[in-house]
Structure 1
Amino acid sequence: MAKQQAGNKPTMADQADRHVLYQKSVQAPEAEVAFFDQVFPELRGRKALTMKEDFCGTAYLAAEWCKSDPQRTAIGVDYDEETVEWGRKHNIEAEGGDLADRITLHIDDVRNVTEPKVDIVCAFNFSYCLFEKRNELIDYFKKARESLVDDGLLILDLFGGTECEDVVEEETEIEDEPATYIWEHVAFNPIDHHMKCAIHFEFDDGSRMQNAFTYEWRLWAIPEVRELLEEAGFSKSRVYWEKYEDSDDDDDELEGTGEYEEVTEVENQESWMIYIVAEK
């Protein structure tokens, strides 16, 4: 995985923890909890206290959710035992207090865990796109719906845009780390929308963690996801799009605000990430 330098001295890539780098470069659990706290009271008139994080990985979001309120509990489900156990050690047990008592982790298929019922089920980082056939995704959505209380919400994220079907690389420096995050679209098949993506990390000493994470999934379109949610029994779905404003550096450039609003019509962009909220 790590590309070594000549000689026996360990490189930065050799010594780096890919989960730490992933959490710092990809995830933003504080913002996601803030979105939950925005949309759930708006739609349901009360505060959400229970959440299930499907495809939870290191359970970073589940931990942040429970840290945000001492009454909150979370369930995390993922089939990757190594990743789940890393998260249990570093994101839950390391926090101390009663956090471990309020988070239940399952190493299992997300479709197998539907109890206890929760206010919110979420599937982020496009993880549900691993289900590439209609019947598979509908089945997952039905199980997610089964996991919800009567007024619960399923919250998904999805990406797209005019450049998402291209073979591209995008580089971002990681704050407080001597490393650069690289998101790569390795391949895209327009016939079935099967997509291969990879995450790499490059370090200041020239070393590289190649294919730290790799993905193969279907690039689902927004209307496809919403239609399948309806077929799975959800009463309604809504699209939340990030608000943009003029950049301070260039009047012709827009930059995201980190705030999301419900929309029914927008102009397409080179790249976007949205939330889809489905009501049971």
Structure 2
Amino acid sequence: MPQQSGVRELDRFDCYEACVQSPAHVAKFLRAVHGNHPRVLREDFCGTAALSRRWLEDAGRLGEAARAVAVDLDPDCVERASRQSPEALRVLRADCRNPHVGDGAAADVVFVGNFSVGYLHTRSELVSYLRHSRERLARVARGDRGGVFVCDTYGGASAFKLGSLTRKHPSRTGEIIHYHWAHEEADALTGMVTNSISFKVERAGEIVQELPRAFVYRWRLWSIAELREAMIEVGFASTEVYTECNVVPGEVPWAVHEPSELKDDWIVLVVGRT
């Protein structure tokens, strides 16, 4: 796999941002689902903080003041995020489960994406984390802006079946990235799964890089019902479920109300409101 002279190799974070994340769609969704000009985003398990950066970029285009706090425990993620962070973005290397991370700063929106709520392996961890998140939002709610907690999860007929999928995505610099998701282990009795993401980089019709198992995840796969019940238990006033984050500007996101609205295999956003 020869590398062209003078051409920078893509790293695993370049590939991840190109293939996995949709910060433009998610940032619009978060503003729309909040519904009352949210200013402060807390992005837990943030990775490279791509969403936080987009949150601030969109606020600038809207002429609104905004801030973001992005938290992750992975030193490589934090180093990458810090290199790209604007002044209004605070990047912290810390355990998101620690209630004191970020000095208890209030937020209008707390977001946990890319199935990272699965890093909370036990129900006690989940409930504790949601309670601290609601308390952050409640500080803002007392200022009459309200607050929302949003996380994503997946499920359906194939949730605990082993398998893989491959698709291609363009990079920002013109390469084609071959994305490979593998469902390596799954235990329906415990809810634990192991998933991995691998990449191959194609340039001018030739594979020039391979990044096998660039990301490996050991997650608890929480169901929609488990997440909603835990949110209500810690004091969220209501919960909602959404299957689509691509929101048309000016429109209100459409929540799911019937199980028939879910596909056989689904990805959803679960929202808790203070």
TM class by shorter chain equals 0.7 to 0.9
Q: CA deviation at 1:16?
A: 2.6
Q: CA deviation at 1:147?
A: 1.5
Paired residue secondary structure (2:134): helix
- Name whichever of 144-153 and 180-189 sits farther off: 144-153
- Could you tell me which residue of structure 2 aligns to residue 157 of structure 1? 152
Q: CA deviation at 1:235?
A: 1.5
CA contact (8 A) 2:19 2:177 kept: no
- Could you tell me which residue of structure 2 aligns to residue 107 of structure 1? 93
Paired residue secondary structure (1:174): strand
**If the length of structure 2 is used for normalisation, what is the TM-score?**
0.84
Distance of 1:51 and 1:15 partners within structure 2: 32
Q: CA deviation at 1:83?
A: 0.9
- Name whichever of 177-186 and 259-268 sits farther off: 259-268
| 2:38 corresponds to 1:48 | yes
**Amino acid in the other structure paired with 2:201:** F
Deviations 1:203-234 (A, max 9, x none): 33445311100000111110011111111221
- Could you tell me which residue of structure 1 aligns to residue 259 of structure 2? 266
Distance of 1:67 and 1:258 partners within structure 2: 17
**Amino acid in the other structure paired with 1:51:** L
**Amino acid in the other structure paired with 1:106:** L
- Could you tell me which residue of structure 2 aligns to residue 191 of structure 1? 189
CA contact (8 A) 1:59 1:76 kept: yes
CA contact (8 A) 1:164 1:270 kept: no
Q: CA deviation at 1:242?
A: 2.9
CA contact (8 A) 1:111 1:144 kept: no
Distance of 2:124 and 2:106 partners within structure 1: 23
Q: How does 1:59-78 map to 2 (within 5 A)?
A: 59-70=49-60, 71-78=65-72
**Amino acid in the other structure paired with 1:175:** P
Q: How does 1:4-153 map to 2 (within 5 A)?
A: 9=2, 15-41=9-35, 46-70=36-60, 71-89=65-83, 91-92=84-85, 100-112=86-98, 113=101, 115-148=104-137, 149-150=140-141, 151-153=146-148
- Could you tell me which residue of structure 1 aligns to residue 244 of structure 2? 242
- Could you tell me which residue of structure 2 aligns to residue 172 of structure 1? 167
**Amino acid in the other structure paired with 2:125:** E
CA contact (8 A) 2:81 2:91 kept: no
Q: CA deviation at 1:28?
A: 0.4
CA contact (8 A) 1:137 1:228 kept: yes
**Amino acid in the other structure paired with 2:185:** A
Distance of 2:247 and 2:20 partners within structure 1: 14
Q: CA deviation at 1:178?
A: 2.6
Identity %: 29
Deviations 1:153-191 (A, max 9, x none): 101111112122211111110114232001110111111
CA contact (8 A) 1:126 1:157 kept: yes
Q: CA deviation at 1:11?
A: 9.1
Distance of 1:144 and 1:233 partners within structure 2: 11
**If the length of structure 1 is used for normalisation, what is the TM-score?**
0.82
CA contact (8 A) 2:46 2:72 kept: yes
Paired residue secondary structure (2:211): strand
How many residue pairs align between the two structures?
247
Distance of 1:201 and 1:19 partners within structure 2: 11
